[in-house]
Every structure is written in C-alpha cells, then in structure tokens.
Structure 1
Amino acid sequence: MEHFAAQAIEIFRHGVAAVQPQQFMRACMPQELAAAAKRIFVLGAGKAAAAMAHEAEQLLEDRITQGLIVTNDASPFPLSRIQTIIGGHPVPDQNSLIAGMAMLEMAGAMQAGDLVLFLLSGGASALLADAPEGVPLGELQGLFDVLLKSGANIREMNAVRKHLSAIKGGQLARRLHPADIYTIILSDVPGNDPAVIGSGPTVADPSTFADAWAVLEKYGLVKDLPSGILHHLQQGLAAQIPETAKPGTMAHARHCVAASNSIALEAARNKAEALGYHTTILTDTITGEAKETAHRLAQQAIAYEGPFPACLLAGGETTVHVTGRGKGGRNQELTLAAGIALKDAPYITFLSAGTDGIDGPTDAAGAVVNTHILQHAPDAHPYLHNNDAYHFFEKTGSLLKTGHTHTNVMDLMVILLQQPPTFR
C-alpha cells in the first residue's frame, strides 16, 4: 500500500479502536439499578451486540438471569449466559423475525423489580424485526431494499420501519413493563438521536404514521406498496391501530448514549497528530448524497490554507441513490467521486470507510484514493455512473477490508494533505 494511503488507514483504525465496547461498557453500567434488581435480563440488537454482551457478562457474571441478542457476527465473542441469534442485514431475514418473536415472548414474563439491560447499536433495525399481520417477510424485505437504494436518510428509513413493527419505536419497552429498562446505546446516526438509532425499540418515538407515509410519498414508493403493507399503513393513518410509544409514556425506561462518531474522530485526531499532521475535525454530522459530499470535501481540501502536512477529519453518514447495476457502498462511492474531483491534486490522499467494517453489500469497509493510486487505473467515470466503485477499487488494490469490527459509529473520512508542489 502506498505510504500516505497506509497512514490514512492507520488513522482510521485508531478511530475505530476507540469505540470498541470494552472502552465504554463499564462506565455506562447502571450499577445502582443492577444492585437493586431481583432479576437481570440482558437483551440486545445490532452489529456491536455480541461485543457489548461479552462485556456485560464480564461485569454482571452470574447475576444475569437470562439473555438474548441478535447480531450479524458473533464469532469472536462466545457467550455463556446470553443466547445469540445471527440475523439478516441490511434487510431482515427469517432469523430476524425469530429474534423478534423471542424477545416479545420474554417480555411477557417480566415482573416488577426486574431489570432489562438492553444493548443497542446500529444495524438493529434489520437484525431485530417483526412483520405486521398479513405482511409476508418477502414484501417487507422488498420495501426495505427499495428504501435503502432510494437515497432516503436513516431518520426517514427508520420512521417507515417503526410503523411496520410492534417492536420498534419504543414498543418493545412498552411490552417489557413493569420491568425497569436501561439501554446502553452505541450511536450510528448523525446527532445521536436515541429514537432513531436502531429504530429505538426501547426509546420513545416522536414520529407518526403520517411521517412514515410522507417518506414513502417523497421517494415515489406509495404506488408500488404491496397490499398488506398499504393496508397496515392506512389503518395507522386512520388511528385504527396503535401508534408507537410516545415521549412522556416511558417512565420505566432510561438510556445512555455511550459512544459516538465524535469519540472516534478525537482518537483519529490524536493518531494523526502523533504522525506529525496538523489536524482539523471538520464535522461529525456529514449527511447528503455521497457524490455531492465528495465534491464538497474535495473543495475544502483544495482550499486549505493552513500549515502542512495536514489532516482533515470528518464523520457522518451519506446516502446513495442507486441507479446503476454495479457493486459498492456509500463510502466506496464517496471515495471514487472524491478521487475524480482531486485528480489534479497529487498532494491529497482521501479515505472514507465505515466503522463497522462493512460498506453496503460488500466485504470492504471503504476505500482510499490519491493520484498515485489512480495513475494506472481505468477511467473512473463509468464506474461512478454505474454505482460500481467496488470493482474500480478492486482493480487498483485500494479497497479497505477490515472484516466485522463489532462496533458501529457511522463513517470516518480521513484527508491527508502534503505540501503542494507549487503555491496556489
């Protein structure tokens, strides 16, 4: 790997290491609630659920009465007291439904004096799922897949998901009553809104059926809704079925946002500075279309007028409106678009990658690019047009493959600037 690309990857990895569950679980554990509880149940969902559950077992030991988590990869974390289900992501599968049914069944056995420790991280919206009566799993999968490709942001997608569920949007917490609930949250959404993270199964939800309907209208999806989904949403709009759990109705449920993108950015800053870079964090709330975001970040890098060498850091989560037939993810698309925008800036290296290690339906976390990497590459424009960044970076050998990281705080962008060859 080219020297500056390798440094960008090193900075990224340092950011990811700072948001591993062993870094925050002890500080967020509700010690007083746990000490007073008659029984303790550990439930969880998300890409970090296995790592979080492993820490919970280390801290609570035989105080755990029963536990169940659903995640996408649990292999490094054998659990002795907490059952693990491997669910589907980024769309739910049959195991996701099995996990949902199992948690609802456990909820029915809760008693006053019980404590439910819920471990929530990104990916939970797909991994922990249920379907409205009369809606087959295939129809739910189809709608969620279209939403993922529509360009909808995470808040919009989860408003729809919450209103096609009896678990999401605080509804699981409603079913867990009279137990006390304490949710430890690893944030993967801009702004760290707990009602949005993982569709908030144990957090009050201000969104409504009308909000969900508006999202489907905005992206032109209403006309193609399957009849079962359409009927369910129309019942909700007519107040014929209950809304999600609203603020002010969840006195038995508390939460702690334990780690977020800003923590990863600070750790990345520390590593960049240790490598000798003058470092600036631009933002931890990047949103918007990946190609447009790439152009903005590239322009900021080109316009930089501070001391060199420099490192610009950003975090957040972009979207991609998929119109091509290629393979990739938002980070790979963002990096490819940035590479095109920076073709005349040989002193700039650009990396974007997902802290969960998985970018879209690929085995890469993201990619890294500079003119050194591009000098023997094919024309990038057709690949970008076809949403095929994966195959472009596969040819250049600059995909970043970390495997599952067992954490998830959105994406990190690392931009390294060396001294320009001439003054601008």
Structure 2
Amino acid sequence: MKTLLQNAFNEAIRVADAHEVMKDYLPKERSGKVTVIGAGKGAAKMAQAFEQYWLGEINGLVITRYGHSVPTKHIEVVEAAHPVPDEAGLNGAKRIMEMVSPLGEDDLVFALISGGGSALLSLPIEGVEMAEKQAVNKALLQCGATIDEINCVRKHLSAIKGGRLAKACYPAQLMTLSISDVPGDDACVIASGPTVGDPSTTEQALDILKRYKIKGYDEKLVESIKLDDECFKNSVYELIATPQKSLQAASDFLASKGIASLILSDRIEGEACEMAKMHAAIVRQIIDHGQPINAPCVLLSGGEATVSLKNLKGRGGPNGEFMLSFLDQIRGLDNVYALAADTDGIDGSEDNAGAWVDPSSQVRMEKLGLNLHEYLENNLSYDFFEKMGDLFKPGPTLTNVNDFRVIYIAGSK
C-alpha cells in the first residue's frame, strides 16, 4: 500500500516536471537570442529544460535552493538559502537586475519562476538591511502566517518582487513561465510576483505586521508595481504546472489501478493540526456512513499547511506536524494508510518531505513508549517519525506544487 501511495506522489511530481511540460508553452519560433532569468526550487530544472528545447543563443542566470541545482550549459545556476534569505540570494538578485536593465525593445527575456522564489530572489529596498529582511522572514514563519501574508510583506520591502523585475526588464519583451505552489495559483503570490502587476498595498502589509506584532518596518514599506503600469504591455504570463494538475494526475493513476479517489481541494490552508482534524473527520465519516464516498477509497488534497511554533528549537515541517496530529485523530482505526509530503521534497528545513502513517503506527508508537502529545506540543514531528522509521525522504524533486496528501481508507464498518 505504501508503494501505491508513493507512486501516486511520483505521478503528481511527474506532471509538474519542467521537462514534461515546458515545451508546450514555448513559442514555435525558438531560434532567436534570449536572456533567461528566474528563481525558485524548480528554477534549475526549468533552466535545464529550457536549454533542451530552445535552439537559439541563450544567456542568463537563475537562483535555486541549496542542493537543488542541476547541470546547465548556458544558464548560470546560483544556489541560495530558503526559507530565510542569505547573501548568495541577494547577490544573485542584484546580478539578475543588472543583466536585464540595459535590454531594449528588440530583446526577449524568459523568466522561470517557481515556489521558493520569494526567499531566493531577495533584494531589499533602499534603507532596509539584509539582516532586517531575514528577521521579518523568520518572525512571519514562526508565527504561522500564511504564504499570502508572508509574500505581501516581502513585496513591500523588496526592490525586485511585486512587479519590480518586470519594470527592470521593460521595454524588452518578457515571457514568464511559472510553476504554482500557492493555493489558487495567484500569479501575484507565486514567488511574490516579480513579473506581474500587484494589487496588494502597503496598508495591507502594515496590517499583517501589526496582526503578528512585528515592529520596526512601518516607515520602510514601499508600494509595488500595479497592473496598469506600461511595463506589462510587452509581458506574457503562463502557468505550466499547478497543484490541481498534480492532484488530478494522482487521481488518474489510482483510477488506472481500479481505486476510487476523491480530490477534496487543491487549496486547503491553515494550521497543520487543524487541517489534520478535518481530514480525520472525513475519514471517520467515510468509515461510519459511506459519505462522501464509499470505502475502499483514497482522499487527495493539496494546499499550504502552516505551523505556529511553540518550540523555536523544534524539528519538523508542516507535513510532519499534519501527520502527527492526524495519527492522534485516527486513534482506534486500523484500516487507514496516509502520506503527507511537500512536493519539493523538503518539509521545512530537514531532509524529509513528510511522513507516513499506517495501521501499525499506533501499536509501534506504544511499544516505543512515545508520547505523541509531547512531540506535538513541542513541534518535534521529525524526531517522532524518525524514531518510528516513518520519515518520507524522496530527496529534492526540483519542482514545487505545494503540499500533497494522500489517504487510503481500506474499508468501512
């Protein structure tokens, strides 16, 4: 059963692989000279795929997370830190801006954007030091802010996000190819929208900072570039992979094996523990009442789980936290298998993508003497599942279409 669920995960990754999808979004004429820029956990793989399909002269630079690089011939790949930006990302962002700023209206730029690009493409506005940008990122991550909220603040403290990269490219022709890692696939949120017009305001960013009691940035926020700016008249934006496409691919794979599945949503957001309670409640509804689908069946969902850290030294990411809470909520059930994982292959900052739960989990936990609630209270999901031998470690997938959850219910009572 674990093999089946992992194969569903693998299928979700396959349809978000740049080599699989990019060629369908490139223009038919591919012999011209181009400048390629980009950022994100999938940026290096996207650059490699671009080189495979483009026939003309290529130069450029993309920024990806440490450990997410792949070989390229013409496009330089820079590795930097995620989710808290570092100097490598700062220097890479500066070089990208220097590369595109002199271009004219006869030039063509491709921007390869994927999840994680917001932290990797870090260029603070004048008057904000890199240490301040790092501090606000850490604070927002620790308080459980949503990706929309984090990116809203980032855009209004940035000299490259919120449409400012498109402004720097103008008057060159700009084509953005993007892989979505955000609920709803909002282009303004993916990597904080460096190449699209941004409707958010400094007032909204300030409200977010006040809500989470983060001080010191009130007078430093700047307005982003709006959609009616002339720089977007030469700009085209294409989504080449999305969470929904990946969920559908997993569902189609399961159907080919004769297994019914139900996609709950591609945009479930919130605290990991609360999301786990909701998923567990649906599992029990299926087992007890055969609603909204009869067992045996599979539940699929995507979106963005967050964690409000109680223990700043905790180990584990949102998917591990989800699984720890889910295991707690399905106590007494012996017919459920589940996997929750980040599709980029890294759940938070450890080396796992997520974790497994199966019908033997509760018995094994008791034999090991593990107090689930203590691990949950201290944000130690990595430690818990490491001791259980249930960490899921596929390694970097070089793409990112957000969280992926697959739950198999073997039968009903």
| TM-score interval, normalised by the smaller of the two chains | over 0.9
Q: Quick one: which amino acid aligns to residue 42 of structure 1?
A: V
Matched with 1:411 is 403
How many residue pairs match? The answer is 401
| Residue 193 of structure 1 pairs with residue 186 of structure 2 | yes
Deviation at 1:366, TM superposition (A): 0.4
Aligned partner of 2:353 among 359, 365, 380? 365
Matched with 1:232 is 220
Matched with 2:262 is 280
| Residue 203 of structure 1 pairs with residue 196 of structure 2 | yes
**Structure 1 unaligned residues grouped into runs of 5+:** 237-242
RMSD after superposition? 1.5
Matched with 1:328 is 316
Calculate percent identity across the aligned residue pairs. Answer: 38
CA contact (8 A) 1:5 1:369 kept: no
Matched with 1:301 is 283
Q: Quick one: which amino acid aligns to residue 126 of structure 1?
A: A
Distance across 2 between alignment mates of 1:56 and 1:167: 23
Distance across 1 between alignment mates of 2:362 and 2:8: 21
**Structure 2 unaligned residues grouped into runs of 5+:** none
Q: Comparing 156-165 with 271-280, which one deviates more in the overlay?
A: 271-280
SS state at 2:78 partner:
strand
CA contact (8 A) 1:125 1:199 kept: yes
Distance across 1 between alignment mates of 2:9 and 2:53: 29
Any idea what the Cα deviations from partners look like across 1:157-190, whole Å, max 9, x if unmatched?
1010001111000011111111010000100000
Deviation at 1:343, TM superposition (A): 1.2
CA contact (8 A) 1:276 1:309 kept: no
Distance across 2 between alignment mates of 1:149 and 1:344: 33
Distance across 2 between alignment mates of 1:146 and 1:61: 45
Deviation at 1:403, TM superposition (A): 0.8
Distance across 2 between alignment mates of 1:400 and 1:180: 42
Distance across 2 between alignment mates of 1:74 and 1:56: 20
Q: Quick one: which amino acid aligns to residue 308 of structure 1?
A: A
Matched with 1:55 is 49
Distance across 1 between alignment mates of 2:3 and 2:211: 41
Matched with 2:102 is 109
| Residue 28 of structure 1 pairs with residue 25 of structure 2 | yes
CA contact (8 A) 1:342 1:370 kept: no
Any idea what the Cα deviations from partners look like across 1:332-389, whole Å, max 9, x if unmatched?
0001100100111111112110000000011100011133023121121110010110
CA contact (8 A) 1:89 1:123 kept: yes
Matched with 2:12 is 15
Any idea what the Cα deviations from partners look like across 1:299-332, whole Å, max 9, x if unmatched?
0011011333211111111111111232010000
Once the two structures are superposed, the pairs formed by residues 137-152 of structure 1 within 5 Å of their partners are 137-152=130-145
Name the TM-score, length of structure 2 as normaliser: 0.94
Distance across 1 between alignment mates of 2:47 and 2:15: 18
Distance across 2 between alignment mates of 1:77 and 1:258: 20
Q: Quick one: which amino acid aligns to residue 29 of structure 1?
A: L
Matched with 1:44 is 38
Deviation at 1:280, TM superposition (A): 1.1
Matched with 2:343 is 355
Matched with 1:239 is none
Distance across 1 between alignment mates of 2:306 and 2:20: 29
Any idea what the Cα deviations from partners look like across 1:76-99, whole Å, max 9, x if unmatched?
631111111111101111011001
Matched with 1:390 is 382
Deviation at 1:75, TM superposition (A): 6.3
Any idea what the Cα deviations from partners look like across 1:3-37, whole Å, max 9, x if unmatched?
x33332222122112211111100111335x56x6
Any idea what the Cα deviations from partners look like across 1:379-421, whole Å, max 9, x if unmatched?
211100101100000011111001110000001110101124x
Matched with 1:240 is none
SS state at 1:61 partner:
coil
